[in-house]
Amino acid sequence: MGKIVLFDSVKGGVGKSTLLTQFVCAMAKTKKIAAMDCDPQGSIENWATRRFNNFQSLDFDMLEADLSFLTENKKEYDYIFVDSAGADTEIGRELLSMADIVISPLQPTTAALDTIPIHSKIVNEAIEFNPKLTLFYLLNECSTHSKDQETSDTYSNLCQFIELTYGKSFQVIPYFVFDRKVLKTSYGEGLSCFDGRKNKSRDEIASIISFIFGGKIDG
């Protein structure tokens, strides 16, 4: 039986869609993967179109945003990656009731931390009806400056809040995605950091994928 992996946030502009495409490209090398775009902005659909135009083929299936199809056909894939809107919506809550894994990116800022009580409460309510659901928070777009303390401070505060409020039900990923140009430029071309030459973003995201799903991702 396949698993539904939902990229979810109550805040837009956290890099959710860009990260999803990295996961899809990395895991499509060894797994049967599909993607579904449930964000009205259509970011994943647009990226997939650019990728098709570059490669003339896709190494994953791009599914229409049909939630009934999602549950009926998830056994056909190892993983289906779903992008939701960056807001608390009715469709987003329905997706939470269906998902196996939720990955919620956030930037290492106070404003981003302020959304965690709201988002974690929504996910916790979904778990009452979907007890198999697992949530991972992931710090994204972190500064590459060696003296920057914001990422480590945000990570510590986030871990403390999650542990005190939810115990071990939710997890904060102990690896970070740093703000590197390759992620934005490759995304704009329908590519990913896993296409082309080796780079630091590839190593960072491979470690995160291994943490969540197990196994080793070839760089």
Domain spans, the chain: 3-213
**How many Cα atoms are found within 13 Å in the side-chain-facing hemisphere of 60?**
32
pLDDT at residue 37, rounded to an integer: 97
Burial of residue 94 (CB within 10 Å: 0-12, 13-18, 19+) is middle
Classify 99 as helix, strand or coil. coil
SS3 per-residue string spanning 27-50: HCCCCCEEEEECCCCCHHHHHHHH
Mean predicted lDDT score pLDDT of the chain: 93
H/E element holding 98? Answer: helix 90-98
pLDDT digit string (tens) for 130-139? 999 999 999 9
- Indicate whether 219 pLDDT > 60: no
Let me know: does 10 contact 86? Beta carbons within 8 Å.
Answer: yes
CATH number of 3-213: 3.40.50.300
- pTM, two decimal places: 0.94
Encode pLDDT of 153-168 as tens digits. 999 999 999 999 987 7
